[in-house]
Amino acid sequence: MEDEKDLREALRDTLAAAGYTVECCENGPDGLDALCCGGCELALLDRLLPGMDGLEVLRQARQAGCATPVLVLTALDGVGDRVEGLDAGADDYLAKPFAPEELLARVRALGRRPARWEPTALRRGDVELDVAGRVLTGPAGARTLSGRECALLELFLHNPGVTLPRERILLNVWGPDSEVESGNIDNYIHLVRRRLRLAGSRMELVTCRGTGYRLEEDPC
């Protein structure tokens, strides 16, 4: 949450480049909504925001039961300001201007509390899949995947050499209530095969007639 456009965009770029998924808010009330809906794993909160002061956002979010770690960013950097921020429920405090490296270090430190905060990269065979950024990197370079392609490939990378029945693929990638048609799986398998090929990978999604598909790390 940051109302100054340049800083907001710089923060977003810095965090995105480090592998985080970023959602921006420009004012206090929107920030409060974003915090209270519980979808984020860490929040950066500017103190001086239009609509509602950053600390008021924090107080109200904490009162509403929000437990998201919050790093307060501010140009106000007296001891009294830090204490006030921490009292309002901030987990850490960073004074402007700050170096991107310091911001990332603070974000990582806060992220260590619940271990699930590290950016997720999955390595297998000759590829690496950045699940958060949906980027597949292989010997021939990087490819961006759609959400569905990424979920599908992630499932196979977790289960190399295992024949995955179509029902399991449907359940894992499309969910229990999906109306997806069986032919759709074939279309997505085709797309993921193409991504693997374009990334220069030797890995192959093999069709197992009558059952499903299997990821072969080194097919001959």
By beta-carbon proximity to Ca ion, the closer residue of 60 and 201 is 60
Site mask for Ca ion (CB under 5 A), range 3-32, x = bound: x-----------------------------
Q: Of all residues in this chain, which one has the CB nearest to Ca ion in the complex?
A: 48
Say which amino acid occupies 37: C
> With DSSP H G I counted as helix, E B as strand and the rest as coil, what are the percentages for the chain, rounded to 5?
45, 20, 40
46-75 positions binding Ca ion, by CB under 5 A: 46, 48
By beta-carbon proximity to Ca ion, the closer residue of 85 and 138 is 85
By beta-carbon proximity to Ca ion, the closer residue of 95 and 121 is 95
Contact 15, 48 (CB under 8 A): no
Size of the site for Ca ion (CB under 5 A): 3
Q: Report d(CA 151, CA 153) in Å as an integer.
A: 6
Min. distance of Cβ 69 from Ca ion in angstroms? 20
Sign of CA dihedral 72, 75, 81, 82: positive
Rounded to 10 deg, the angle between the 54-63 and 79-87 helix axes is: 30
By beta-carbon proximity to Ca ion, the closer residue of 18 and 48 is 48
Say which amino acid occupies 51: G
Q: Which stretch binds Ca ion (CB under 5 A): 1-9, 30-38, 155-163, 208-216?
A: 1-9
Min. distance of Cβ 215 from Ca ion in angstroms? 48
Q: Hey, which residues does 141 pair with through a beta bridge?
A: 138
Which residues lie near Ca ion (CB under 5 A)? 3, 46, 48
